[in-house]
Chains A and B, each alone.
Chain A
Amino acid sequence: MHKFMIVFKHEYALVVKKKSFIVGLILTPLLMGLMMFAPILIEKFNEKKTEHLAVIDRTNLDIGKKFVENLEVYTLDDSVTASFIVENLYVIDAFDVDEFNTTKDSLKNLISEGNLKYLVVITPDAVTTDTGVYVVASNENISANRKFRWQLTKVISSLRLEASNVNIPIDSVLNMTQRIDLIAKDLKGVTVSYEIQLFIAIVFVMLMYMLIILNGQMVMRSVIDEKTSRIMEVLVSSVTPFQLMLGKIFGLGAATLTQVAIWVIAGYTIFALNPIQSTMLNGILTPFLLIFILLFFILGFLLYSTLFALLGSIVDTEKEAQNFLVPIIMCLMVPVMLSSLIIDDPNSLVVRIMSFIPMFTPTTMVMRLNFLFPSLPNNSLFQPAVLESILTLIVLAATVLGTIWLTSKIFRMGILMHGKRATLPEIIKWIRK
Chain B
Amino acid sequence: MLLELKNIRKEYEDKVAVDSLSLEIPKGVIYGIIGPNGAGKTTTIRMVMNITVPDSGEILFENKPVDETFRDRVGYLPEERGLYKKMTLIDVVSYMAALKDFSKSQVNEKLDYWLNRVDLIDYKDKKVEELSKGMQQKLQFITTIIHEPEIIILDEIFSGLDPINIEIIKDILLDLKREGKTILFSTHVMEQAEKLCDNLCMISQGQKVLDGTLTDVKSRFGKNSIQINIDGDGKFIKELSGVKSFTEYNNYIEIKIDKNSDTNQILKSVADKVMVKRFEIVEPSLYEIFIETAKADPTDFNGNGGQHA
Chain A interface (Cβ < 8 Å from any Cβ of B): 2-3, 6-7, 10, 229-240, 416, 418
Is A237 within 8 A of B76, CB to CB? yes
Is A238 within 8 A of B78, CB to CB? no
Complex-state Cα separation, A416 to B42, whole angstroms = 13
Complex-state Cα separation, A238 to B97, whole angstroms = 9
Decide yes or no: A237 and B83 within 8 Å by CB, A6-B98, A6-B99, A416-B51 being known contacts: no
Cβ distance A42 to chain B, nearest Cβ, rounded Å: 42
Residues from chain B with a CB closer than 8 A to the CB of A416 are 51
Cβ distance A244 to chain B, nearest Cβ, rounded Å: 9
Is A230 within 8 A of B74, CB to CB? no
Residue of A nearest to B147 (CB): A238
Complex-state Cα separation, A129 to B51, whole angstroms = 85
Complex-state Cα separation, A278 to B49, whole angstroms = 59
Residues from chain A with a CB closer than 8 A to the CB of B140 are 234
Residues from chain A with a CB closer than 8 A to the CB of B95 are 6, 10
Is A235 within 8 A of B99, CB to CB? yes
Complex-state Cα separation, A236 to B68, whole angstroms = 12
Which single member of A6, A7, A229, A234 contacts B78 (CB below 8 Å)? A234
Which single member of B80, B96, B100 contacts A233 (CB below 8 Å)? B80
Interface centre among A2, A237, A416 (most CB of B within 10 A): A237
Complex-state Cα separation, A41 to B181, whole angstroms = 72
Additional A-B contacts beyond A234-B76, A238-B96 (4; CB < 8 A): A10-B98, A230-B78, A230-B80, A235-B99
Chain B interface (Cβ < 8 Å from any Cβ of A): 49, 51, 68, 71-72, 74, 76-78, 80-85, 95-96, 98-101, 140, 143
Residues from chain B with a CB closer than 8 A to the CB of A234 are 76-78, 82, 96, 140, 143
Is B71 within 8 A of A237, CB to CB? yes
Is B74 within 8 A of A237, CB to CB? yes
Residues from chain A with a CB closer than 8 A to the CB of B80 are 230, 233, 418
A-B pairs with beta carbons under 8 A, tally: 50
Which single member of A6, A229, A233, A239 contacts B84 (CB below 8 Å)? A229
Is A231 within 8 A of B49, CB to CB? no
Residues from chain B with a CB closer than 8 A to the CB of A239 are 71, 99
Complex-state Cα separation, A6 to B49, whole angstroms = 21
Which single member of A3, A232, A233, A418 contacts B99 (CB below 8 Å)? A3
A-B contact pairs, 28 of them (CB 8 A): A2-B101, A3-B99, A6-B95, A6-B98, A6-B99, A7-B99, A10-B98, A229-B82, A229-B83, A229-B85, A230-B80, A230-B81, A232-B82, A233-B51, A233-B80, A234-B76, A234-B77, A234-B78, A234-B140, A234-B143, A236-B51, A237-B49, A237-B51, A237-B76, A237-B78, A238-B72, A238-B99, A418-B80
Complex-state Cα separation, A418 to B309, whole angstroms = 10
Is B96 within 8 A of A230, CB to CB? no
Residue of A nearest to B144 (CB): A234
Complex-state Cα separation, A10 to B95, whole angstroms = 7
Cβ distance A396 to chain B, nearest Cβ, rounded Å: 32
Cβ distance B130 to chain A, nearest Cβ, rounded Å: 15
Complex-state Cα separation, A418 to B307, whole angstroms = 12
Complex-state Cα separation, A231 to B76, whole angstroms = 12
Complex-state Cα separation, A229 to B87, whole angstroms = 12
